[in-house]
Amino acid sequence: MSGRVKVGVLISGRGSNLQALIDACAEPDFPAEIACVISNVSDVEGLRRAARAGIPAHTVAHGTFAGRESFDMAMDTILRRANVAIVCLAGFMRVLSDRFVEDWLGRLINIHPSLLPAFKGLDVHRRVVESGARISGCTVHFVVPELDSGPIIAQAALPVLPADTEDALAARTLLAEHTLYPLALKLLAENRVRLDNGRAMFGQIGDAKGLLFNPPLR
Ligand code: GRF
């Protein structure tokens, strides 16, 4: 029997971060395993990635529910049936109800493609390039009811290059996301970070090491 922590991943599309988590979970010493994937959109690449990895994958189409609460409840039922302990949002494009967020508080994390608290919301890379900022990055954070505002677990910082387009910055950021998300999940699965009184608390100073990194340019 595996003693690994069961994770549910919520997606809406391409699923490249899901793939990074799948690949990390394939390592024998990784402390978590993906027990189910849920997409609110059918026929997306992320669902195919789950199928290729042999992970149970579900489409829960938000449009077929009367409201946000019942949609979230349907996902909650699947997650609990799969004995999930941690939920990772990976490009999940729906706002979750406060009830769902409160129920999973401390066990629900998200990846966002900016150095939060800067550039919350959508269209991040276009806004970063337009802003003239010289540094951007990505963030893994605990999810709280307010969008993109939860306590930060881990961040990677990246330069914004003078010639960067929105797409070039997005591609460079995505590579960093694929390293950062498994690192943050590992920490949470090993109980080395927890949400405590509105802050991300690390077990030991060393547990935060390597979580604030600045990948070299390729
Ligand atoms: C990523 O950039 C992630 O930070 C954001 O949505 C995008 C999802 O990409 N939340 P993918 O579906 O994981 O490839």
Let me know if residue 124 belongs to a domain: yes
Q: Which residue has the CA at smallest separation from atom 12 of ligand 1?
A: 15
CA of 16 from ligand 1 middle (Å) equals 7
85 CB-near residues (< 8 Å, 6+ apart): 5, 6, 7, 107
Q: Show which residues are catalytic.
A: 112
CA of 92 from ligand 1 middle (Å) equals 8
pLDDT greater than 90 at residue 212: no
Q: Is the peptide bond before 117 cis (omega within 30 degrees of 0)?
A: yes
Let me know if residue 208 belongs to a domain: no
Angle made by CA atoms 180, 186, 192, in degrees to the nearest 5: 110
Output the average pLDDT for the chain.
Answer: 95
The CATH number of residue 113's host domain is 3.40.50.170
Q: How many CA atoms lie within 13 A of 48 on its CB side?
A: 6
The whole-number pLDDT of residue 215 equals 66
pLDDT greater than 90 at residue 145: yes
Give residue 57's domain range: 5-193
CB atoms within 10 A of CB 17: 26
Nearest atom of ligand 1 to the alpha carbon of 138: 4
What's the domain count of the chain? 1
Band (pLDDT 50/70/90 cuts) for residue 39 is very high
CA dihedral sign of residues 134, 199, 141, 202: positive
Let me know if residue 79 belongs to a domain: yes
pLDDT greater than 60 at residue 186: yes
14 lines ligand 1 (CB under 6 A): yes
Nearest atom of ligand 1 to the alpha carbon of 174: 2
208 CB-near residues (< 8 Å, 6+ apart): 193, 202
Let me know if residue 200 belongs to a domain: no
Band (pLDDT 50/70/90 cuts) for residue 1 is very low
pTM beyond cutoff 0.75: yes
116 CB-near residues (< 8 Å, 6+ apart): 139, 141, 148, 149, 152, 155
The whole-number pLDDT of residue 204 equals 72
Band (pLDDT 50/70/90 cuts) for residue 211 is low
Which segment of 62-71, 73-82, 207-216 scores lowest on mean pLDDT?
207-216
Higher-pLDDT residue of 214, 108: 108
Query: What average pLDDT does this structure show over 138-153?
Result: 98
Q: What are phi and psi of 142, to 5 degrees?
A: -65, 145
Q: Are strands 86-89 and 108-112 parallel, antiparallel or unpaired?
A: parallel
Let me know if residue 218 belongs to a domain: no
Query: What average pLDDT does this structure show over 181-206?
Result: 93
